[in-house]
Amino acid sequence: MSTQQTRVALVTGGSGGIGRSVVRRLAQDGYAVAVHYAGNPERAQEVVEEITKESGQAIAVGGDVADEQAMAAAFEATQAAFGGIDVVVNTAGIMVLAPIATLSLDDLDRMHRTNIRGTFVVSQLAAQQLRAGGAIINFSTTVTRTQLPTYGAYVASKAAVEGMTLILARELRGKDITVNAVAPGPTATPLFLNGKDESLVATLAKAAPLERLGQPEDIAETVAFLAGPARWVNGQVLFSNGGLA
């Protein structure tokens, strides 16, 4: 298949957690994939090797998502390797949990930089560079609706992501580019499981009507839907949470 016939995806945070499952799922659909990492090139290279062993196309690209020059370089590297970009998936994010009354403002700033500025930087570049028929897929969280204590600062950052996502969809009128956000529920990733005891995890697993935690592959299916066949879904926040909220 020629490069022009192959859809190309850039996945931020693509070396771990949900991002890694998204990369694998898009590769299964025939996408050439740029696997972005922030600080662990070895892990990103492992993902690249997994895909290329299955005769797929993948490269690793690095950088801080909030650094516009680093991300511009990542976009350029992706285009140089594959000829263009059709889909950008923003899974990169950080989560620090604490009550609003006691959260370190340094932690607030770190989440703001990665989750808000990072999403903005990458969305801005995607809006400028994606080919017609493309898709921008950002990440929110179901906790914007369930309002769990200790998630205040994290939810604030993800509510901002939802806001910019819905407005960007309207700003790209006439470009044939969709812009949506995925809002996962409790999903069995290191980011989610870190710091939670077995009892809390079991309680959260029972919260959804399907009575289990989501798996990264569940979220990747939602992303694959928005990236490819879901051309009439635009300017939406899609909750992938087993019916939790």
CA distance 190 to 49: 22
Catalytic residue among 31, 37, 151, 154: 154
CA distance 61 to 77: 7
List beta partners, residue 36.
61
Q: Which two tokens stand for residue 13?
A: 């945070």
Q: Is 154 a catalytic residue?
A: yes
List the beta strands (DSSP E) in the chain. Answer: 8-12, 32-37, 58-62, 87-90, 134-139, 177-184, 237-240
Q: Roughly how many angstroms between the first and final C-alpha of the chain, as a whole number?
A: 42
Instruction: Give me the half-sphere count of Cα atoms (radius 13 Å) on the Cβ side of residue 176.
Output: 5
The catalytic residues are 154
